[in-house]
Amino acid sequence: MNVAEERVALLTAEELLELPEKPGVRYELHEGKLVEMPGAGALHNLIVGVVYRLLYAFVREHRLGLVFTDGAAFVLRRNPDTVRIPDVSVVRRERVPGGGIPEGFWPGAPDLAVEIVSPHDRAEEVHERVREYLGAGVRQVWVLWPRSRAVTVYEAGGVVRELGAEEELEGGEVLPGFRVKVSDLFAVEA
């Protein structure tokens, strides 16, 4: 493919939003290129639910903003467009647009992005997503590793912390006062 053909193939966030839905398939944009996201497994989905419930309860109680699951897409960059769908995300109340909650993609980055690593995820792809989030203004990224029951916390200032199952994850400036034992993020027993 030559450079001219590649430019034609790039999509915008608006064009992505207009694509017909396919059951079980999600799409993101990476620098204008369409990326099909593989379906997540049962464990992944259960962990998404646990993390969402914990964050939702805290954010609602303290009236801090909005919590989204993996259906919410964020426009992280324009020209070429990058649109990402974190597994769970938080947008602080003061960043909700004056016109209300957008019907389409969220314009800009969330304050917190949570990614749960699936068996098919490659480490370099996970790190690329973290770099994109932080570069777009995400203040904190949590990467959950189900196999090791650990969390890597990335902060906008460059701080990176590795937390094991028995350690406590704190919400920092994004979610002041939020604390949870890391093992509780993976509590998905039947």
Cα dihedral 41, 47, 52, 57 sign: positive
**Confidence at residue 109, expressed as pLDDT on a 0 to 100 scale:** 96
Tokens coding 77:
């960059």
Q: Where are the domains of the chain?
A: 42-186
What is the three-state SS of the chain? CCHHHHHHHCCCHHHHHHCCCCCCCEEEEECCEEEEECCCCHHHHHHHHHHHHHHHHHHHHCCCEEEECCCCCEEEECCCCEEECCCEEEEEHHHCCCCCCCCCCEECCCCEEEEECCCCCCHHHHHHHHHHHHHHCCCEEEEEECCCCEEEEEECCCCEEEECCCCEEECCCCCCCCEEEHHHHHCCCC
Closest by Cα among 141, 143, 171 to 65: 171
The fold of 42-186 is tt1808, chain A (3.90.1570)
pLDDT in tens, the chain (190 residues): 444 444 557 999 999 999 888 877 889 999 999 998 877 788 999 999 999 999 999 999 999 999 999 889 999 999 999 999 999 999 999 999 888 898 899 999 999 999 999 888 888 989 999 999 999 999 999 999 999 999 999 999 899 999 999 999 999 999 999 999 999 999 987 6
Distance CA 10, CA 84 (A): 16
Residues sharing a CB contact under 8 Å with residue 113, sequence separation 6 or more, in sequence order: 74, 84, 86, 88, 89, 133, 138, 140, 141, 142
**Confidence at residue 20, expressed as pLDDT on a 0 to 100 scale:** 86
**Confidence at residue 40, expressed as pLDDT on a 0 to 100 scale:** 78
pTM over 0.85: yes
